[in-house]
Amino acid sequence: MIQLHQVSKHFHNETAIRYSDMVFEDGHSYLLLGASGCGKSTLLNLIAGIISPDTGEIIINGRVMTNESQQVRDAFRIRSIGYIFQDFKLIEDMTVQDNIDILRLEGVDVSHAAGLFAALGMQEKRNKKVRQLSGGEKQRVAIVRALVKQPDIILADEPTGNLNFSIGEQVMRELAETARGKTLITVTHDERLASYFDHVVDMNEMTSGGLFDAPSDSREVM
Amino acid sequence: MFHFAMKNLAIKKAQTLLVILSIVLSAGVAVLAYNVSGQVNDGITGTAAYYSAIIGPSGSKTQLAMNTMYFSDEPLGTIPYEVISELQQDMRVASVVPFAMADSYNGYSVVGTSTDFLSGKNVSQGEMFSAAGSFEAVLGANVARVSGVRVGDQIYTSHSVGETHKTPYTVTGILQETHTVYDNVVFTQLQTIWAAHEEEEEEHEEGHEEEHEHEEMNGMVCAVLVRTLNPTYAMTLVNDYDGRIFMSRDGGSHTLQAIEPMDTVRGILQDADTTRYIVFILCAIILVMNVMMIIIITLLNLYHSAGEIRLMRLIGISMRKINLLYLIQNLVVGFAAVLLAFLLSRVCLLLMRDYVAQMGVVLNASKVYPLEAVLLAAVFIINLLPTMICTWRMAGQEGINN
């Protein structure tokens, strides 16, 4: 279970986002909808431990992650959180397989990759360089990298944002199927994907503060 | 980790090769210059140190030393063999070796001497000339190879262009290749040189030919190489013979010159030291430029890798692992570059061997001076420093944001 308690985050441009207290139950899927800049991506980065809140607590499975060091949060992220970034965050000059194998640096077992590639129809592309792939294929590689470690929590930031609707829908379907039984939190502004989720959250109602001046995605705060 | 580091290097082939090439060329040249300089210095002084004194006709000390030890330059003239007889009676003297250079074979100098002169040298074919024999020759390896001469063949020497001696020399042996000046010389008995010249004089007298300007060789030598019983005797021996006017039995007077070869060679090397220092300074400049280049290339690489590092941080790879990854990459690049620089310097040493051998020095490719190792280690560490500093600075930043 993921709990947010009185969490707020300030940015360099003095804008701030305050989140309402939230709870994400284990094994449920959540779709976070909202306008650009309402703090959706920031929320994912906070849960992933990539950034720290200025106030409040983030508690994951009873553990107050906000009290932990960056090192501990990194270790937790690589073991327990599968994060699918909006812009994939893949090393373009490396092969698809290398982008998965990179997790082995931290001792992550990537033996499930073959099955996931097969499930997503990517087994033929494993030795191709990422830069040779289409947007949809890159998104699938990002999904495999997020799921290969069999995480308890999957965070997906606009997983269909770079894809046309039909491919996006297919990717979303595949993601929802492969993530079944996990806690899946997906951020998007595309309401048409709502049918794939147990819960739909309007983030415009869950945040307050200088929302409209807040950075729109994680890249700007990293 | 190692496998991934290698993959990461492979995708940055151009930058990696640039760093390696930069280190290989600069460190290789620096190490080579230091090694050659050291070995030439050691080799020349080593050869010079073998004899305590050289006695010859008056004239240039350098010419006397270079002619007798490295067979270069022309002999200064001749002195009577009686000098050798006198030296053999001297209590300070351990051994005396005559040296006469007068003729040539296919452009290679013919040296008349005793077998003592070739002590320490081995023949690859045949045997040394006999002390009592005459018109026997032992050929340097290169002379035999170039001239296509074998043991048992007869060769004709000449005094000058167009003046070939009538009596041939029988080749008794061919020296093992030494990659020194000895490879380019024909050695024979001193009395053979005398006999050849006596024969020539007779021909001139009988034939009433035009007068030829040539040195009277019979009973004469170009120089005497002396080993004393004690190094301190060398100085007194040189004092006794240097500048002395030697009266031969036939009434001729000969002004002698005596040198301590080590002193003479040191003098030559001191002159050469200026050039050596200039080479070292140039090498130092190349190295400094190389260090700057390594730092710039590494920083540029890291700048280009910043996105990759951030990406790895985002997916949860710890900074410790990232540091290790880049450290391994730099260790591999540094090690490969330093190893190649060392190998390059050794290959160059082998290629330069024949050229340097003309100075009487055999370059040994396996010879490593301690400072060479220090130099390569320094380059290796310098290669690591920029990455280590940068990644440690990144590691010191808590969090991934900002």
The length of chain B, given as a count of residues: 402
Whether residues B183 and B282 share a domain: the answer is: no
Nearest in space to B100 (alpha carbons), one of B178, B188, B170: B188
List of residues 6+ apart from A125 with CB closer than 8 A: A96, A117, A133, A137, A141
Model confidence band, residue A214 (pLDDT cutoffs 50, 70, 90): very low
Q: Closest CB to B4: pick one of A70, A75, A105.
A: A105
Q: Which of A57-66, B172-181, B238-247, B358-367 has the lowest mean pLDDT?
A: B358-367
Q: Give the torsion through C-alpha atoms of B24, B30, B34, B37, to 10 deg.
A: 100
CATH number of residue A192's parent domain: 3.40.50.300
DSSP codes of every residue in B6-41:
HHHHHTTHHHHHHHHHHHHHHHHHHHHHHHHHHHHH
Q: Which of B43-47, B72-76, B340-344 has the lowest mean pLDDT?
A: B43-47
In a domain, A22, yes or no: no
User: What pLDDT was estimated at residue B397?
Assistant: 56
Among B218, B236, B259, residue at a domain's last position: B259
Whether residues B88 and B185 share a domain: the answer is: yes
As a whole number, mean pLDDT of residues A35-45 equals 82
Residue carrying structure tokens 């009434």 = B251
Q: Closest CB to A94: pick one of B7, B315, B316.
A: B7
Q: Tell me which amino acid residue B356 is.
A: V
Q: What's the rounded Cα separation, in Å, for the pair B381 and B27?
A: 13
Nearest in space to B102 (alpha carbons), one of B188, B170, B171: B188
Asked whether the predicted pLDDT for residue B341 surpasses 80, the reply is: yes
Alpha-carbon separation of residue B135 from A56, A160, B169, B195, B199 (angstroms):
108, 99, 4, 8, 12
Asked whether the predicted pLDDT for residue B398 surpasses 50, the reply is: no
Q: Tell me which amino acid residue B77 is.
A: G
As a whole number, mean pLDDT of residues B112-130 equals 89
User: What pLDDT was estimated at residue A88?
Assistant: 85
In a domain, A198, yes or no: yes
Nearest in space to B325 (alpha carbons), one of B311, B309, B310: B309
CB of A94 within 8 Å of a chain B CB? The answer is yes
Bridge partner list, A63: A60
Model confidence band, residue A143 (pLDDT cutoffs 50, 70, 90): confident
Contact present, A172 and A159 (Cβ < 8 Å): yes
Looking at chain B, which residue has its C-alpha nearest residue A90? B311
Average per-residue pLDDT for chain B: 83
Asked whether the predicted pLDDT for residue B252 surpasses 70, the reply is: yes
Total number of domains constituting chain B: 2
Indicate the SS3 state at residue A12.
coil
Q: What's the rounded Cα separation, in Å, for the pair B324 and B387?
A: 10
DSSP codes of every residue in B325-374:
HHHHHHHHHHHHHHHHHHHHHHHHHHHHHHHHHTTT----TT---HHHHH
User: What pLDDT was estimated at residue B139?
Assistant: 94
Among B259, B291, B307, residue at a domain's last position: B259
User: What pLDDT was estimated at residue A208?
Assistant: 64
Contact present, A57 and A66 (Cβ < 8 Å): yes
Per mean pLDDT, which of A114-123, A202-211, B214-223 is the most reliable?
A: A114-123
Q: Determine, for residues B314 and A85 on separate chains, whether the beta-carbon distance falls below 8 Å.
A: yes
In a domain, B402, yes or no: no
Asked whether the predicted pLDDT for residue B215 surpasses 60, the reply is: no
The length of chain A, given as a count of residues: 222
Total number of domains constituting chain A: 1
Contact present, B322 and B397 (Cβ < 8 Å): no
Residues of B in contact with A90 (CB under 8 A): 311
CB of A138 within 8 Å of a chain B CB? The answer is no
Asked whether the predicted pLDDT for residue A217 surpasses 60, the reply is: no
Identify the domain containing residue A96 by its residue range.
27-52+69-220
Q: What's the rounded Cα separation, in Å, for the pair A70 and A96?
A: 28
Whether residues B237 and B290 share a domain: the answer is: no
As a whole number, mean pLDDT of residues A140-167 equals 84
Among B259, B291, B316, residue at a domain's last position: B259
pTM over 0.90: no
Q: Which of A9, A52, A74, A84 has the most B C-beta neighbours within 10 Å, making it the best mutation to test the interface with B?
A: A74
Whether residues B239 and B164 share a domain: the answer is: yes
Count residue pairs from A and B with Cβ separation < 8 A: 68
Give long-range contacts, CB 8 A cutoff, 24+ apart: B252-256: B252/B80, B254/B57, B254/B79, B254/B80, B255/B57, B255/B58, B256/B55, B256/B56, B256/B57, B256/B58, B256/B79, B256/B83
Query: What token pair was written down for B275?
Result: 């050039």
Query: What token pair was written down for A112?
Result: 């499930």
Asked whether the predicted pLDDT for residue B135 surpasses 60, the reply is: yes
As a whole number, mean pLDDT of residues A35-59 equals 86
Asked whether the predicted pLDDT for residue A6 surpasses 60, the reply is: yes
Burial of A28 (0-12, 13-18, 19+ CB in 10 A): middle
Nearest in space to A142 (alpha carbons), one of A161, A52, A51, A49: A161
Q: Which of A42, A89, A97, A102 has the most B C-beta neighbours within 10 Å, making it the best mutation to test the interface with B?
A: A102
In a domain, A80, yes or no: yes
In a domain, B378, yes or no: yes
Residues of A in contact with B14 (CB under 8 A): none
Model confidence band, residue B274 (pLDDT cutoffs 50, 70, 90): confident
Q: What's the rounded Cα separation, in Å, for the pair B36 and B25?
A: 16
Read off the DSSP letter of residue A21: P
User: What pLDDT was estimated at residue A215?
Assistant: 33
Instruction: Indicate whether this complex's ipTM tops 0.95.
Output: no
User: What pLDDT was estimated at residue B174?
Assistant: 95
A63's enclosing H/E stretch is strand A63-64
Whether residues B87 and B127 share a domain: the answer is: yes
In a domain, B401, yes or no: no
Whether residues B137 and B279 share a domain: the answer is: no
Indicate the SS3 state at residue A82.
strand
In a domain, A191, yes or no: yes
Query: What token pair was written down for B259?
Result: 């040198």
Query: What token pair was written down for A166?
Result: 């039909």
Q: What's the rounded Cα separation, in Å, for the pair B346 and B112?
A: 36
Asked whether the predicted pLDDT for residue A13 surpasses 90, the reply is: no
Model confidence band, residue B162 (pLDDT cutoffs 50, 70, 90): low
As a whole number, mean pLDDT of residues B122-133 equals 86
What percentage of residues in chain B have a pLDDT greater than 70?
90
Whether residues B209 and B319 share a domain: the answer is: no
Contact present, B167 and B103 (Cβ < 8 Å): no
φ, ψ of residue B155 to 5 degrees: the values are: -125, 150
Q: Which of B8, B315, B321 has the most A C-beta neighbours within 10 Å, making it the best mutation to test the interface with A?
A: B315
As a whole number, mean pLDDT of residues B58-65 equals 90
Whether residues B158 and B19 share a domain: the answer is: no
Whether residues B94 and B184 share a domain: the answer is: yes
Whether residues B15 and B89 share a domain: the answer is: no
Whether residues B359 and B210 share a domain: the answer is: no
User: What pLDDT was estimated at residue B334?
Assistant: 87
Asked whether the predicted pLDDT for residue A34 surpasses 60, the reply is: yes
User: What pLDDT was estimated at residue A216?
Assistant: 37
Whether residues B129 and B170 share a domain: the answer is: yes
C-alpha distance from A104 to closest chain B C-alpha (Å)? 8
Identify the domain containing residue B209 by its residue range.
53-259
